Amino acid sequence: MAYVFDAISRDEAEQKVTEAGLETDGTFLVRTRDGKPGEFVMCVVYKGKPTHHLVTPNAEGLLTVNKRTFADAKKITELVNALRKKQPGWPVALVKPIKNPKKAKSSVKSPAKTSGKTSAKKEAGAAKKKKSGTLEKKKSKSKSLKKKKPIWLHGSISKEEADELMTKAGLDDGRYLVRSREGKKTEFVLGVVYKGRPTHHLITKVDGNYLINKKSYGTHAKVSALIATLQKKGTPKWPVPLDKAVPSERYLKEQAEAEAEETPAADTPAPAADTPAPAADAPAAAVDDAVAAPVDTPAAAADEPATAGPGLNQDTTRVITRATINIGAKINQYEPQLAMVANQLTLLEQFVLDIQKSSPNRMSFAQMNTAMLDGGHHANTTA
């Protein structure tokens, strides 16, 4: 649990996440609570600010966050893994852990003291191991030098899959991802939420410079440099800054593997900090999967050819299952509002019918308006 900190205060936690950068929602750390073993506080960046969330076990031994349970987690590692993806009742996926240097250091084993005889044996076998050790070092070095892909860079996913990922992450303006195009090494598609809907824009390379919708936003020999420019506020002729990246599956997998390697054997929490602040705001409501209008730039949005859907394989089944769960959750979320609107429509229909019949006992406009504002729960009263 490299992201768990012992005995630090709320202010110290905020300082650490601020130093790590508030531009990425989902940056987080976990701190233990002083004198309360088994309890934690998660400090999470949400909407560009540090937020604090109390983690306590309930009567069944399940960990709760702000009195909610997720994936029946009993350990903090299980809870964090569950929240790496957005869950109903949780506003932002945990994508960027802040590592505790003390935890990382403690996971490195100190060399054991050896006797003269053991030392002699090691020296005798040193020559045999030298060659294999050198090879291992080279492999380790080449692995460490391997450049990691940016958090926002996805593979050649379809437009529909990109829409689903952005919708699930939250339709806040500026949320974005970049997807590659199969068979076209220098072409990409930028997906960005604008005016509450996903939009898509073709990135191409012309004369060594990356353009969006055939329009230049400066000299950019790399896609990462172009994205960095679009993250700045006030970029000429670009209406919305890119400020909330949707993490790719590859990035989440690499983060999980890195944490697994650095996690110490002991899973017992140490005591730590103070009472947390209120929970972060609820996530924004998702919209339908319709293709959004292009961003208001002079050039037109990417006119990408339709992508044929994959066969009914494991990936497709997983996407359908995820979509079904998401739709069910939204139906439950908006059911009371739909019922209220239905009641209002019923009142309005009765009002119109009474006017057509010239009924002397019909509701007045003021009475109907009051009933509708009250949610339509009162019956249609007559004089």
Answer whether residue 287 is part of any domain.
Answer: no
19: how many CB neighbours lie within 10 A of its CB?
9
- Residue pair 169/177 in contact (Cβ under 8 Å)? The answer is no
Amino acid of residue 273: A
Residues 6+ apart with CB under 8 A from 188: 178, 179, 180, 181, 202, 203, 223
Q: How far apart are CA 241 and CA 353, in angstroms?
A: 51
Amino acid of residue 221: A
- Residue pair 79/66 in contact (Cβ under 8 Å)? The answer is no
The total number of structural domains that make up the chain = 3
User: What's the first-to-final CA gap in the chain, in angstroms?
Assistant: 70
Q: Find residue 176's DSSP bridge partners.
A: 192, 245
| Half-sphere exposure of residue 17: CA atoms within 13 angstroms, side-chain side | 33
- Annotate 31-84 with DSSP letters as a single string: EEBTT-TT-EEEEEEETTEEEEEEEEE-TTS-EEETTEE-TT--SHHHHHHHTT
Answer whether residue 89 is part of any domain.
Answer: yes
CA distances from 167 to 24, 57, 74 (A): 17, 31, 29
Show the CA angle centred on residue 310, arms to residues 306 and 315, nearest 5°.
130
Domain that holds residue 72: 4-105+251-262
pLDDT digit string (tens) for the chain, length 383 residues: 789 998 789 999 999 989 888 888 999 999 998 888 889 999 999 998 999 999 999 988 899 998 889 989 999 999 999 999 888 888 899 999 998 887 655 554 444 444 444 555 555 555 555 555 555 555 555 444 456 788 999 999 999 999 999 999 999 999 999 999 989 989 999 999 999 999 999 999 999 999 999 999 989 999 999 999 999 988 898 999 998 899 998 888 877 776 665 444 433 333 334 444 444 443 333 333 333 334 444 333 443 433 334 445 566 667 777 777 777 777 767 777 777 777 777 777 777 777 777 767 777 777 767 766 665 544 444 43
Residues 28 and 93 in one domain: yes
Residues 77 and 99 in one domain: yes
Answer whether residue 209 is part of any domain.
Answer: yes
pLDDT on residue 44: 94
Pair of tokens at residue 166: 């952005």
Residues 95 and 184 in one domain: no
Tell me the H-state helices in 88-222: 101-106, 116-145, 159-169
Residues 180 and 230 in one domain: yes
pLDDT on residue 124: 57
Of 262, 293, 324, the one marking the end of a domain is: 262
Residues 166 and 88 in one domain: no
**CATH of residue 59:** 3.30.505.10
